[in-house]
A = this chain, B = another copy of it.
Amino acid sequence: MGVSIKEVAARAGVSVGTVSNVLNRPDMVKAETVEKVHAAIDELGYVPNSAAQQLREGQSRSIGLVALDINNPFFTDVARGAERAAALGRHTVLLANSGESIEREISNIEMFERQRVRGVLVSPLSEDLSRLRDVRKRGIPVVLVDRGTEDTSFPSVAVDDVAGGELAARHLLEGGRRRLAFVGGPMRIRQIIDRYRGAAAAVAAVDEATITSIETEALSLDEGMRVGGELRALVARGEIDAVFAANDLLAIGVQQGLLGGDDPVAIPGDVALVGYDDISFAAAAVVPITSVRQPRELIGETAVALLEEVRESESEPRHVVFEPELVVRSSSAPAPTA
């Protein structure tokens, strides 16, 4: 065990209460004593034990953020926003990675509950929120991040993914595209479903336009490349003239798949491409990728703000929905008017 407050007190010739006061309310203590105590702290290399503080205070100073997949730059940006907002209230953000696995999501949430965090920010994988309701019942506030609001009893921050999907598809249609492919999955993830539904609605409004859904196993670069490679033949045969990928990781992979091999197709000549999230790699791709931007850091900041709101008052939980924004780049230039 390290040095405790008791040893500091002995060394400085004061009581433990005084040491604690020096640390937490220095103005209550005579300047001279403050100095003596600080000297003792330095000599001994005292570092407070946060487990003891927390046990005493009944609450941790940390906020738990359960990310779907930490390898997706989208989430590290959300985390950064949350960190910034948390720092304002002298809180800390603990990041846990679910790696798109429901079991890990559950065990991460439980870990946070054992730690008695101030609250949990989570973009749940599963449709079943009963576990989160239990967590809340036990006194730990929960905020839904990047998630629709079927259950309006939780505060939530989200982006209108249906609108985002529409935005993407409408843009492709306006560019003269008619045979769309949607690439994304697994289809149990709410956000992915919404993006598809939005796109499908836009397509339904235009005569002769069609959309095919190609489900992927993960939202990863590799899956995108695989699908992109398979799409080459369809594009060459004219069966597909536009691809809407459910996120940018996929979109970048799809682009590589389309441009690769011995029979590459042209972007945007043969096929247009739109992604989602607007991560920095999207703008840096060979053919810069048009993408639906989400206000990533703002989502994180807002989630923390909603958490504090719900902690402070018993008022109705708020539901913040941001509007997505289309960032047009060269990957989706209009079809040649052939």
| B-binding residues in A (CB < 8 A) | 1-3, 45, 47-52, 54-55, 58, 60, 70-71, 73, 76, 79, 83, 92, 94-95, 97, 110-111, 113-116, 134, 137-140, 221-222, 225, 252-253, 256, 259, 280-281, 284-287
Contacts and interface: CB of A to CB of B under 8 A. Distances in A.
Given A1-B139, A55-B55, A281 B221 contact: yes
Given A55-B55, A139-B1, A221-B281, A114 B49 contact: yes
Contacts of A51: 51-52, 54-55, 60, 115-116
Given A55-B55, A73-B71, A111-B92, A221 B284 contact: yes
A223 to B, nearest CB: 12
A114 B284 contact: no
A47 B284 contact: no
Contacts of A134: 45
B54 A252 contact: no
The copy count of this chain in the complex is: 2
A139 B2 contact: yes
CB-CB nearest 3 A-B residue pairs = A286-B286, A51-B54, A50-B114
Contacts of A76: 70-71
B47 A221 contact: no
Contacts of A79: 70, 97
A92 to B, nearest CB: 7
A115 B70 contact: no
Given A73-B71, A284-B252, A50 B137 contact: no
A95 B92 contact: no
29 contacts: A2-B116, A2-B138, A2-B139, A3-B138, A45-B134, A47-B110, A47-B138, A49-B55, A49-B114, A50-B111, A50-B116, A51-B54, A51-B55, A51-B60, A55-B55, A70-B76, A70-B79, A79-B97, A92-B111, A95-B95, A95-B97, A221-B280, A221-B284, A252-B281, A252-B284, A259-B286, A281-B281, A285-B286, A286-B287
Contact of A225 (B50, B94, B138, B284): B284
Q: For A45, A54, A58, which residue has the most chain B Cβ atoms within 10 angstroms?
A: A54
A137 B45 contact: yes
